[in-house]
């Protein structure tokens, strides 16, 4: 049996499992639906995590021609990791002696694109958060107070304001916005030009309150899609960019700045003109991007094994870690998901 | 038995019952806790409504020396009046032949301070809404889309932003605000100067998410209390005032403009310098204020009885209505609640 190291990033939208050998070579990875128990429920989240892990193990066996033995497993997630039954995961991946180590989602996101012991990370997906790493460990975090109290500039923040702009238009309390037809369609409200605005408004409001509030995050892409043509969408993204700029500037220290989450990687970065505040905050920083924390979780699994577990001895292994990190990120992209 | 007319305003915070004679003379009123089934639950809401009504009937019997017979009853409320078992209320107030008529809370609020058939009303309590009356009936409304999608400038809007400002300060993402000690105290978080901000933040966030979101409305008074001394509080109320100005300007037609709800009557109006936008929107309007919709609900009960029920015949009775309205509002204040 080939010894291997397993990293799992259990996000709200999708779960990524990455399996690497002792030198960092990626031998398999796999994706499943969201694995966060807070948004998905305990059972569905655990199922997604276990399936992603077992899928990766199965693929690795085929690639290597023999089964792999998981030496270490790191599960990265936000929120309430104690809601995941980690012994079930340990048994499912054949971990007898060892156990599953937990990591934060932002730490895994950082190590997906950086291995420097000093650096910062800003993630804007459904929520938004910034963190700082020193001596290879997460020492400070800001934001992440959730949809009701924080998460400025996040997918929820943008999506809620998209829907609020449409509600304001239909109420006669705000200007017309080109986002209205897309929002009505997404809520299943007929956009019939002849129907009274009040009727559309009532159907939209009823439908929106019937869902959990965080589901409003799915309307964020509408703002990005229309930003070049619609004042309300552009203004909203400028304000979101100001919130994200505050997160970027929260930890201005040395080292790389890793940006993760769909709002940044698929929203703002492909359209840098959208927010002057965010562009200004990123100016002069060593910016890298990460799609998810799978590779970072695998890196943490690898470097926490054996002597790597000790922070004090980590410096001596840094050169080896850098090589392993480069190998993870280069070989991971060699293995596209089917 | 003396014939009488009963109006009940079932709000989220309190329920007001007002009992008047045929000429409008108020013979009793009573107050109980919130009677809105959406925020209080069906049973508690119905109990508050029935108790307020029976209390008013009991007081009237004492005042008049004989029992009163309720001829008409109007129940005014926002949200979902179908959640109130009105036959139970009808039996409790001795309505055998007639039944309980429903009215909207904003309509009752309007008629608490006006009886002109053309006019506007803006209510900002936990939520915020504007409405227009024509020929004595409510014809248009705007706002009131609830805490998630609308309610700009409302108690919820202000309270949520008070807590967000404190969360931003404790996260290092926003400036220091004098509102922080009051908010921490209200959440039961020790304000010990030595405790780390992160620890206070986590306790506050945990406590806030354990409550229904609309409970954040109770933090709105903190912004008004500190507005003269704190930049964050003042800025927040300026933005709230801009939202309320949009509601005021939504229905600019002739007739009185009735302002109701604690955010306006106990927040903005006693401190007119707080929002330039709101003051500008009110300039030149025939502004009146209402504490609650109890008197308006009694007026609706009185004028909807007999020929008053017909909108077409309402004009002929207008002079009588004006006199009755004046009598309700003048005699109501003669009877302070114990």
Q: What percentage of residues in chain B have a pLDDT greater than 90?
A: 72
Mean pLDDT of B198-211: 92
Asked if residue B282 has pLDDT above 70, the reply is yes
pLDDT digits (tens, 9 = 90+) for A230-267: 999 999 999 999 999 999 999 998 999 999 999 999 99
Asked if residue A96 has pLDDT above 70, the reply is no
Min CA distance, B35 vs chain A (Å)?
A: 21
| pLDDT confidence tier of residue A164, bands split at 50, 70 and 90 | very high
Across B282-321, the runs of DSSP E, i.e. the strands, are: 287-290
Q: For B208, which of A149, A246, A247 is closest by C-beta distance?
A: A149
Which pLDDT value is given to residue A98?
59
Q: For A172, which of B208, B216, B250 is closest by C-beta distance?
A: B250
Which pLDDT value is given to residue A328?
86
Mean pLDDT of A14-29: 93
Q: For B164, which of A150, A164, A208 is closest by C-beta distance?
A: A150
Asked if residue A64 has pLDDT above 80, the reply is yes
Q: List Cβ neighbours of B321 (8 Å cut-off, separation of 6 or more).
A: B115, B299, B303, B308, B314
Asked if residue B314 has pLDDT above 70, the reply is no
Residue of B nearest to A147 (CA): B209
Which pLDDT value is given to residue B98?
59
* Pairing mode, strands B128-134 and B137-143: antiparallel
Which pLDDT value is given to residue B39?
79
CATH number corresponding to A2-115+292-332: 3.30.420.40
CATH architecture of B2-115+291-332: 2-Layer Sandwich (3.30)
Q: How far apart are CA B143 and CA A169, in angstroms?
A: 10
Q: How far apart are CA A99 and CA B291, in angstroms?
A: 62
Higher pLDDT, B171 or A320: B171
Could you tell me where in chain B the CATH 3.30.420.40 domains are found?
2-115+291-332, 147-289
Which pLDDT value is given to residue A307?
42
Which pLDDT value is given to residue B308?
41
* CATH 3.30.420.40 at A147-289, yes or no: yes
Asked if residue B324 has pLDDT above 90, the reply is no
Helix axes B197-209, B155-171, angle to 10 degrees: 150
Tokens of B81: 């009046």
Residues 62 to 91 of A: which have CB under 8 A from any B CB? none
Could you tell me where in chain A the CATH 3.30.420.40 domains are found?
2-115+292-332, 147-289
Min CA distance, A303 vs chain B (Å)?
A: 29
Q: How far apart are CA A272 and CA A268, in angstroms?
A: 6
Asked if residue A155 has pLDDT above 90, the reply is yes
Contact B150 A171 (CB under 8 A): yes
Asked if residue B248 has pLDDT above 60, the reply is yes
Higher pLDDT, A309 or B159: B159
Asked if residue A279 has pLDDT above 80, the reply is yes
Higher pLDDT, B236 or B38: B236
What's the DSSP call for residue A177?
A: -
Which pLDDT value is given to residue A45?
95
Contact B148 A172 (CB under 8 A): no
Mean pLDDT of B64-93: 91
């Amino acid at each position: 049996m080939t010894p291997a190291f397993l990293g799992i990033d259990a996000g709200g939208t999708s779960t990524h499992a990455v399996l690497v050998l002792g030198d960092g070579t990626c031998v398999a990875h796999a994706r499943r639906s969201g694995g966060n128990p807070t948004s998905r429920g305990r059972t569905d989240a655990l199922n997604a995590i276990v399936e992603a892990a077992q899928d990766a193990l199965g693929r690795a066996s085929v690639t290597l021609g023999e089964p792999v033995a998981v030496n270490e497993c790191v599960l990265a997630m936000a929120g309430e990791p104690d809601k995941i039954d980690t012994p079930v995961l340990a048994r499912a991946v054949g971990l007898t002696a060892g156990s599953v180590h937990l990591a934060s989602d932002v730490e895994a996101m950082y190590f997906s694109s950086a291995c420097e012991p000093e650096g910062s990370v800003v993630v804007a997906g459904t929520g938004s958060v910034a963190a700082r790493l020193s001596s290879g460990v997460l020492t400070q975090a800001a934001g992440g107070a959730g949809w009701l109290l924080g998460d400025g500039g996040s997918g929820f923040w943008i999506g809620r304001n998209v829907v609020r702009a449409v509600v304001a238009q239909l109420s006669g309390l705000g200007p017309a916005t080109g986002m209205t037809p897309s929002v009505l369609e997404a809520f299943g409200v007929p956009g019939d030009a002849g129907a009274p605005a009040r009727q559309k408004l009532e159907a939209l409001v009823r439908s929106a309150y019937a869902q959990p509030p965080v589901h409003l995050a799915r309307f964020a892409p509408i703002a990005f899609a229309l930003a070049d043509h619609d004042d309300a969408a552009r203004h909203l993204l400028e304000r979101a960019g100001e919130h994200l700029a505050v997160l970027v500037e929260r930890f201005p220290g040395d080292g790389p700045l890793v940006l993760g989450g769909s709002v940044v990687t698929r929203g703002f970065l492909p359209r840098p003109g959208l927010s002057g505040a965010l562009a200004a905050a990123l100016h002069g920083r060593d910016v890298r991007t990460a799609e998810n924390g799978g590779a970072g979780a695998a890196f943490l699994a690898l470097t926490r094994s054996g002597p790597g577990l000790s922070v004090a001895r980590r410096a001596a292994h840094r050169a080896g870690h850098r090589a392993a990190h480069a190998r993870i990120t280069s070989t991971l992209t060699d293995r596209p998901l089917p």
